[in-house]
Each structure stands twice: as C-alpha cells, then as structure tokens.
Amino acid sequence: MKKRRLITSALPYVNNIPHLGNLIQVLSADVFARYCRLAGYETLYICGTDEYGTATETKAREEGITPKELCTRYYTIHKDIYDWFNISFDKFGRTSTDEQTEIVQSIFLKLYENGYINEQEIEQLYSEESDMFLADRYVRGTCPHCGYTEARGDQCENCGKVLDPSDLVDPRSALDNSRPVMRKTRHLYINLPAILPKLEAWMKEASVSGRWAHNALQMTHSWIRDGLKERSITRDLKWGIPVPLEAFAGKVFYVWFDAPIGYISITATHTSDWESWWRNPDNVELFQFIGKDNIPFHTVIFPSSLLGTHEQWTMLHHMSSTEYLNYESGKFSKSMGIGVFGNDAQETGIPADVWRFYMFYNRPETSDAVFTWDDFQEKTNGELIGNLSNLVNRTLTFVSRYYEGSMPQGAGSNPTFWAEVAEREAKITEFFEWAQLRSAFRAVFALSSLGNRHFQAGEPWKTRETDPDATAALLADLVYLVRDIAILIEPFLPETARRIAVFLGIEELTWSMLGTSEGITAVGRPEVLFRKLEDGQIKDLRERFSGSQADRAAAAKMDETFASSVRLVAARITDVKRHEKADKLFVEQIDDGSGAERQIVSGLVGFYEPEELVGKTVIVVDNLKPAKLRGELSQGMLLAAENEDRSIVEVLFLNDVEPGTQILLEGIDRTLEDPPVIDVDTFFSIPIEARQSVVRVADRPLTANGRQITTERVADGSVG
C-alpha cells in the first residue's frame, strides 16, 4: 500500500509579484505532484498566499484600503500567474481565513499548556491619539546613532542600524504624528531551546529517511548552533490572528509563527477531512518545496511548533530546496524590476510549456543557475524541438503517411531496445521519487535521443519496401516510445503531453503504461508542437527585459544624476585625532564655511599622519547621511583617490579654495542648494574616478572655482 503524499510549496508573501526565480518552487512542487498522481499515489498539493503582517498592513494603510482588500487584489494576481503556468494545485488558498485562526490558536494553546510559551514584559511606544501600540516601523524619530530625523523604529534607513523603537530620540507616531508614550506591554515567546531535544531526536531520524540534502542539513545545524533562542511570537498589530488569551487581547501572532501553519489551514479550507492528511504520520509523507533561504523555518521553527504540542502531526519527510536562479549577468531583483516576472512571461507569446521546459532543464538543483536569453533559445530549439519534439514529429508523420495512420503491424517488438528503455525508465522513476527533477528531465531527453538514434539506425525510409515486416515492428516500437515519453514529460510539460496523447488516441496517461506495447490502434497526423524561437524575437525580448539597458541609460546620464544629488564642498581640517576605539580611523574637526562645528571620521591611519592633514583644505561630501563609525559621529566624508590595489591613498587637497566653496562638474555649473540626503550606497553608486590625474564623474572633470581637480600620486584610480 503506497503512502499518501502531501506536497507543499513555500507560501509566497502576498504583495510580491513572483519572478521566474520565485516560480521555481511552485513549479517544482507541481511537477512532483503531477508525477505522484500519475504514479498512483493519493496526492494533495497545497499552497497559498501568506497575508498577515506589518508589510501588508502598512501598504493597505497607505492606499487607504483594508488589508484584506489589498490581499485579495494580490491574491488574484498570484492566482492568475500560477493558472497561466498550469500549476495543478489541489488548493491555492490564503492565510487570512477562519480556519487559519482556529488552527493557529489551537496549536498555540497546546504549546502554552505544555509550558513552552513564556511571557516577558517590555516597554513599547504607544499612541494615545490612535489608542494603539505602534509597530516598530510605525514609529519615526531621530536616530540616536546618526541623527537622521526620519529613522524608523525597526531600523534606521540612514545608517542601517537595527533599532528598538524606544531608542529613537524625539519619537512620533507615523500614523497620527502624535508623540507616543512609553507603555508597558507583554509579549509571548516560544521557548525553542526547551523543545530542542525533541527536535533533534525527530531530525536525526527524519533527515535520514527523508534524505535531506547535505546543504540543508548543514544550514540547519549551524542555525541551531548559533541562533536558537526564545523567539517572540506576538505583536501589537491589528492585521493578524488574535492571541487567544484574555491577558493578551488586542495582540496578534507574528507572521512567521502563523505562516507555516498556513499549509495546514489551507488544507482545512479544501477538505473537512484535513486531519487525515496532517495528523496521520503513519500513512502520509510530507514533501516540502522551498527556496534555500527558507530552510530553517521548515526544519526548525515549524517542526518545533508541532512537536511542542505533544500531539501527532505529519512532519516533514523530504525537503527539496532550490538554489537561486540568476538573470543574465546579475540577480533577479524585485525592487529594481530586473528579470522576467510571472506576468511578463505571459506577454511574450511564448507558451507556458516552453517556459516550464527551460526552468526544469536548467533548474538550480545543486547550485545557482543562470537564466540567459541566448541559452533559453538554444536549449529550446536544440533540445525541446530538435530532440524531443522532432522524435514525436518524425515518428508520427512517418506512420500517418506510410501506414495511413493505422498502427503498423510487424514482427513483434525489439527486446534489446525495450530492455534499454526499461532500464532508463526505472532510473527516471527513481529520480522522480526523490524530486531530483532536473536529473529526471534530462534523462527523459536522453531517452528521446536514444529514440532518434534508433530511428536513424533502423533507416525505415529505406527498408519500408525491402523489409516491411521489420520496418513495421520498428515503427511500432517507436510509437510506443513516444507514448512513454509523453507520460514521462507530463509532469513537466502537461499541455504537450496531452497533445501527444491526442495524436495517439489515448485518453489518459499513467505511469503503469510505461514499457508496455499495447493500446494504440491508430495514429493521427501530428501538428507541430512548438515553434522555434527566432533570433530577432530573442533579441527583442532580451532588450525588452534587459536590466543592462537601463544601466546603460543610467550611465549615460550619470553626470546629471551626480549634479542633482551630490553636494561636494571644500572644508578645512582644523583638528585631527586618532579614533580611540579603532585602528584605522581618524576623527577630524572641519570648517565647512558655515561656522558650525562639524566632525568627520576617515579611515586614513597608515596613509597620513595627523600633522599632514591639519590645516589642509579637502573635499567633503556635504549631504551624506551622518553615520556613526565605531561610536564617533561622522557628518560627511572626505574624498580620497586610491589606486587599484589600494597601496596608495591620496586625499584630494585643494589650494586657494575657501571653505564652503561648492565643487562642481565642468559644464554643469549649477550649485545644489537644497540637496537630498543620500546614503553611502547611493553615493557609491555613482563612480568618481581619477583618469590621467583628472578627477571625473562620467567624463566630466570636477572643478573648484573653475579649475579642474587633479591628483598627484594616483593617476588612475577610484575616488571615494
């Protein structure tokens, strides 16, 4: 009796539109689920959007709609994309449901009864105006580290320091601008260390029987080694699941606690019999498909939550974690809009099966992989069309042309050929069993290639009249091989498999048909399965979705960007001290002409002595967000040129330039009066270089009082 298989793919966060890199997990689980169904396992594939949490609450607030409305909007986008890719979910649900509330609360209460939940009292900011505790990111104020006035309570966007909202100087509510007060609040923590012995006992066995990947195990172990502590599971938010304790009314669970439980609750929205899946470890195997960044949640946090209930749950059996898919020369990036997104794929006019083909042919199974348009074209034309599609086409065309579409009747099948096929099919099945999808897929193409060789070696176009009996037998073998290939690719290319089945007059493909030679009586004239990807088409797509094109455009106007975002001024160094707690840093007092005191920190120890700097006039980035370097405030940054190996660092000194003078780009002589505050990354995104001893941005030299700024020792190098 085969076990039932419960399959999940990581729940995508609702307000992210998935790109090809994200789609891999959902597609992988789909292939596995389709395989399991064909192979006769009772299968359930569950996924859905993860909806609770501050991110959606904030975004909904900004747009003036309810979080639920926002989620519904995005849920539809997700669903459309997955539908287009033919993902065969048994249920694609969402986490904002009554079932989720009920199950999360009951799991929590079990943990609570079993003593794995602790509470701690902390002080948090509270808005009396809005009558609510403020989530970390709803508090704004002045960063205690760098002085940035718009710092958020969770993290200062300026200096990047992780903050506690209570650290903020002069805090205010981002909702109503009122001044929040400190108020005591209590939060609940799950005691993961207390559950650890159970977790380890379970993991020791599960990781072996489920054949967890080496890297997943290693990641889990290191996570346990240096990170396992009590984790807070509640928040003072509205958009979430209420904590079912009177003393905690008004609080909700933190998303990471409830999200994995979404797998269970979504099942519950699909069938009232959900416990037969999730509370049935003896008969159900759980396969989870995730990205490599998600491993600890599925190996530690979620299992711990379940183990802590002291009840029976269906726990993770096999985990398939994919690596990253990169795009052309870089990474897929949601924030920067780089790459191909789910909705883009639809608009290319390229069928879903072709996308699916390439995603699996090049699935990032054991290491990161790269999506390139050239490779996409090459693999599609060469393998999908030249190899597999061609075998189908040449075989079926031959039969329908020379045998009027009826199944050739010959001297019986070739046992040597079928022995080889059977061996390969067994291997492919084994790959499928452990979700080694890419290996399985490639092996199918190798099998197809074998078919092409068999066809070629048999030369039926020659023997058709000289030895009709043998020729008919050969063709019959090939037709059944085509049928087998249709079965084997169904999980990957469902639409294509269905079309081949139609040519062969087969209603339903199943794994048990593999290797058999019966059931087909007639062959229809096949239509071409795929159109080749043309050079011009690929070129257009590459340009349309090219990040580098945007980069080129940006580079072309880099000087403009610089002129409108970076303000450089001359400043005189009045004092230099060694930083007491740092080996490489000087702390300089400077006069920037404004009369105000100003301090900057520079990593010049070893390159300059203090007396070489005092009294000199240097160039300072004026509108850089202040930062604290090893405890000392740095309000700006001085410019220095360095050669390639950083063996020479040359501070850019100015002669006869008054402090406060703005440094300009030649040809763009406009001063910047009210510059935006920029962070270091923004600053460094615009390269300043020394070329032939002239300091430039793009090709424009920097000038002070109309004179070009030059270097003495570093003729060519970068400036920062």
Which residues are near RNA by CB under 7 A?
160-161, 214, 218, 222, 331, 362, 364-370, 372, 374-375, 378, 381-383, 385-387, 389-390, 393-394, 397-398, 401, 446, 449, 452-453, 455-457, 459-462, 528-532, 579, 581-585, 601-604, 627, 629-630, 637-638, 640, 680, 683-684, 720
- The one-letter code for the residue type at 407 is M
What does the CA dihedral 118, 124, 128, 129 come to, rounded to 10 degrees?
-110
Counting Cα atoms < 13 Å in the Cβ hemisphere of 679 gives: 13
Nearer to RNA, 267 or 393 (CB): 393
Q: Least separation, in Å, of the C-beta of 164 and RNA? A: 15
- State in angstroms the smallest separation of the CB of 679 from RNA: 8
What is the three-class DSSP state of 405?
coil
| Between 305 and 393, CB nearer to RNA | 393
Instruction: Give the residue among 659, 667, 664 at the shortest CA–CA distance from 709.
Output: 664
Tokens coding 477? 């073998």
Query: Residue 348 or residue 449: which is nearer to RNA going by CB?
Result: 449
**What DSSP character marks residue 164?**
-
Rounded least distance, CB 391 to RNA, Å: 8
3-state secondary structure 274-322: CHHHHCCCCCEEEEEEEEHHHHHHHHHHHHHHHHCCCCCCCCEEEEEEE
Sign of torsion, CA 237 238 240 242?
Answer: positive
Alpha carbon 213 to chain centroid, angstroms: 19
CA–CA dist 110, 108 (Å, integer): 5
Decide whether 159 or 694 has the Cβ nearer to RNA: 159
Q: Given the complex with RNA, which of 423 and 461 has the nearer CB atom?
A: 461
CA distance 479 to 408: 9
543 burial (CB, 10 Å; 0-12 / 13-18 / 19+) is exposed
Nearer to RNA, 117 or 219 (CB): 219
Q: How far is the CB of 583 from RNA (least distance, A)?
A: 4
- What is the C-alpha to C-alpha distance for residues 45 and 255, in angstroms, rounded to an integer? 22
Tell me whether residue 191 or residue 377 sits nearer to RNA (CB atom). Answer: 377
Q: Which is nearer to RNA, 258 or 353 (CB)?
A: 353
Q: Please give the DSSP secondary-structure letter assigned to residue 65.
A: S
For CA atoms 203, 208, 213, 215, give the dihedral sign.
positive
3-state class (DSSP) for residue 633: strand
Shortest distance (Å) from residue 454 CB to RNA: 9
Q: In this complex, which beta carbon is closest to RNA, that of residue 575 or of residue 642?
A: 642
Q: Are 521 and 498 within 8 A, CB to CB?
A: no
CB of 370 to RNA, least distance (A): 4
C-alpha to C-alpha distance for 18 and 261, rounded to whole angstroms: 21
Provide, rounded to whole angstroms, the least separation between the CB of residue 92 and RNA. 29
Structure-block tokens of residue 443: 């092996």
Compute the least distance from the CB of residue 557 to RNA, in Å.
Answer: 23
CB of 507 to RNA, least distance (A): 23
Q: Which is nearer to RNA, 446 or 558 (CB)?
A: 446
Angle between helices 437-458 and 352-361 (to 10 degrees): 100
Q: How far is the CB of 71 from RNA (least distance, A)?
A: 27
Instruction: Give the nearer residue to RNA in terms of CB position, either 316 or 385.
Output: 385
Long-range contacts of 378-387 (CB under 8 A, 24+ apart): 380/354, 380/530, 380/532, 380/533, 381/532, 381/533, 383/357, 383/445, 384/354, 384/357, 384/530, 385/529, 385/530, 385/532, 387/445, 387/448, 387/449, 387/452
At residue 653, the 3 state secondary structure works out as: strand
Name which of 160 and 505 has its Cβ closer to RNA.
160
CB of residue 328 vs RNA: minimum separation in angstroms? 9
Indicate the residue among 29 and 638 with the shorter CB distance to RNA.
638
In angstroms, the CA 586 to CA 602 distance is 5
Measured over all CA atoms, what is the biggest interatomic distance in the chain, rounded to whole angstroms? 104
Q: Sign of dihedral through CA atoms 245, 247, 252, 258?
A: negative
In the complex, what is the shortest distance from the CB of residue 422 to RNA, in angstroms, rounded to a whole number?
Answer: 20
Task: For the chain, count helices (H), then strands (E).
Answer: 25, 33
State the nearest-atom distance from the C-beta of 83 to RNA, in Å: 25
Residue 550 or 684 with smaller CB distance to RNA: 684
- Nearest approach, Cβ of 315 to RNA (angstroms)? 24
